[in-house]
Amino acid sequence: MNNLDLLKRFCARLVAVERRSPLTAETYRLEIRRFLEYLETENLGLAELESSHVIRYLECRRLRDRIDSRSAAKAVSCLRSFFRFTQDAGLMKDNPAVILDLPRRPARLPDVLGREAVERILDAADTKNPLGLRNRALYELVYSAGLRVSEAVNLGLRDIDFGEGLARVTGKGGKERFVVFGQEAAFWLKRYIAEARPKILGLRRSNFLFVGRSGRRLSRKGMWKNYHRYVMMTGTKSRLHTLRHSFATELLAGGADLRSVQELLGHADITTTQIYTHVDVSLLRESHRKFLPKLKDLASPKQVEL
């Protein structure tokens, strides 16, 4: 079996057996393709692989591609999955990546925006033209419901329930959940569906909610590109995913419980949601330093009498 066929069979297993999302399968495919190319340059076969060979590959990736610990950990996960596949196919006896420790990922707090900054970005959309109105409705919904980019572009018309203020989204691993959106998002969505969407589609038809100039589903790239343009117009620093982070942080700051936020975000593990509690604490500390700059001195053990 040549490497191309091997890679195809591995990707098919990821989707059909391991139930990985198409995006995850593509990430794994790219990593394993790099690994197989590395083996060819080193004249190595799968049957003779040892852990030391895998370690050298990861070191090569670190030096050549300058990957960080997060990317290195993802590469190890990809390799473990691939070697399990080759074992099942009878191509390898052992999994040389099993003994490798996942590189520790630095704890990075997600960037968040204040409500005023979010409103400036949303206001940058020119709602007098169909595409601008579509973008305003799209980003309002992402912010109001805390959607991932993939979840937003895959929404269908029938997934929106204005009566209940709910949207049915398909998250990671094909898991469906209902999310709540507010009145502001509902207002712009109704305008987009009634005014802009028919003009963008023309005589064409589509079941997708957000469509592009071609009449097909709006692409992730187009969604990112348009958002970046609004960010540049307003002079803010933000990525599209920041709207989702800001949504979660505002909920927790407003008193929402962690389990509810986990459900709304579609996190499989609550530890993923917990990072937003640290963001909230960091915002409190920032306000503490800003409005009470001398409190640290007053609270010094040398100055406080008990």
What is the span of the domain harbouring residue 137?
A: 115-289
Same domain membership, residue 60 and residue 18: yes
Alpha-carbon span 215 to 209, nearest angstrom: 11
Same domain membership, residue 162 and residue 121: yes
Is 12 part of a structural domain of the chain? yes
Tell me if residue 70 is catalytic.
Answer: no
pLDDT at 287: 57
Q: What is the pLDDT of residues 37-91, one digit of tens each?
A: 999 999 988 888 888 898 899 888 888 888 887 788 888 889 999 999 999 888 8
- Kindly name the residue from 148, 197, 217, 245 that is annotated as catalytic: 148
Buried b (16+ CB within 10 A) or exposed e, 77-92: ebbbbbbbbbeeeeeb
Same domain membership, residue 140 and residue 23: no
Scanning the structure block, which residue is given the tokens 């959309």?
A: 125
Q: What is the pLDDT of residues 116-125, one digit of tens each?
A: 899 999 999 9
**pLDDT for 211 beyond 80:** yes
Percent of the chain scored above 70 by pLDDT?
Answer: 87
pLDDT at 288: 55
Same domain membership, residue 122 and residue 72: no
pLDDT at 102: 64
Same domain membership, residue 39 and residue 158: no
Same domain membership, residue 125 and residue 70: no
Is 95 part of a structural domain of the chain? no
Tell me if residue 244 is catalytic.
Answer: yes
Please state, as a whole number, how many other Cβ atoms lie within 10 Å of the Cβ of residue 211.
Answer: 20
Least confident range from 91-105, 154-168, 239-253: namely 91-105
Tell me if residue 8 is catalytic.
Answer: no
Is 299 part of a structural domain of the chain? no
Mean pLDDT, to the nearest integer, of 156-174? 92
- Kindly name the residue from 34, 56, 120, 172 that is annotated as catalytic: 172
Same domain membership, residue 276 and residue 144: yes
Phi/psi at 217 (5° precision): -55, 140
Tell me if residue 220 is catalytic.
Answer: no
Is 239 part of a structural domain of the chain? yes
Tell me if residue 267 is catalytic.
Answer: yes
Is 262 part of a structural domain of the chain? yes
Same domain membership, residue 140 and residue 72: no
Model pTM score: 0.62
- Kindly name the residue from 13, 20, 244, 245 that is annotated as catalytic: 244
Is 96 part of a structural domain of the chain? no
Least confident range from 73-77, 148-152, 200-204: namely 73-77
Alpha-carbon span 58 to 178, nearest angstrom: 40
Same domain membership, residue 146 and residue 10: no
Please state, as a whole number, how many other Cβ atoms lie within 10 Å of the Cβ of residue 200.
Answer: 20
Helix (H, G, I), strand (E, B) or coil at 253: helix
Q: Average pLDDT of the chain? A: 85
Same domain membership, residue 122 and residue 76: no
pLDDT band at residue 163, thresholds of 50, 70 and 90? very high
**pLDDT for 106 beyond 60:** no
Q: Domain holding 47: CATH number?
A: 1.10.150
pLDDT band at residue 4, thresholds of 50, 70 and 90? confident
pLDDT at 291: 58
Tell me if residue 230 is catalytic.
Answer: no
Is 294 part of a structural domain of the chain? no
**pLDDT for 298 beyond 50:** no
**pLDDT for 300 beyond 70:** no
Is 303 part of a structural domain of the chain? no
Mean pLDDT, to the nearest integer, of 243-256? 84
Percent of the chain scored above 90 by pLDDT?
Answer: 45
Alpha-carbon span 29 to 66, nearest angstrom: 19
Least confident range from 146-150, 185-189, 196-200: namely 146-150
pLDDT at 261: 82
CA distances from 263 to 25, 95, 246 (A): 24, 35, 16
Scanning the structure block, which residue is given the tokens 């993802």?
A: 74
Q: At what angle do helices 130-145 and 115-123 cross, to 10 degrees?
A: 160
- Kindly name the residue from 13, 136, 245, 267 that is annotated as catalytic: 267
Q: Domain holding 201: CATH number?
A: 1.10.443.10
The two structure tokens encoding residue 162? 């204005």
The count of structural domains within the chain is: 2
**pLDDT for 275 beyond 70:** yes
Please state, as a whole number, how many other Cβ atoms lie within 10 Å of the Cβ of residue 212.
Answer: 18
pLDDT band at residue 289, thresholds of 50, 70 and 90? low
Least confident range from 32-36, 103-107, 246-250, 262-266: namely 103-107
Same domain membership, residue 283 and residue 190: yes
Helix (H, G, I), strand (E, B) or coil at 215: coil
**pLDDT for 303 beyond 60:** no
Instruction: Identify the DSSP state of 192.
Output: I
**pLDDT for 111 beyond 50:** yes
Please say which residue of 53, 88, 123 terminates a domain.
Answer: 88
To the nearest 5 percent, what fractions of the chain are helix, strand and coil? 60, 5, 35
Same domain membership, residue 59 and residue 143: no
pLDDT band at residue 24, thresholds of 50, 70 and 90? confident
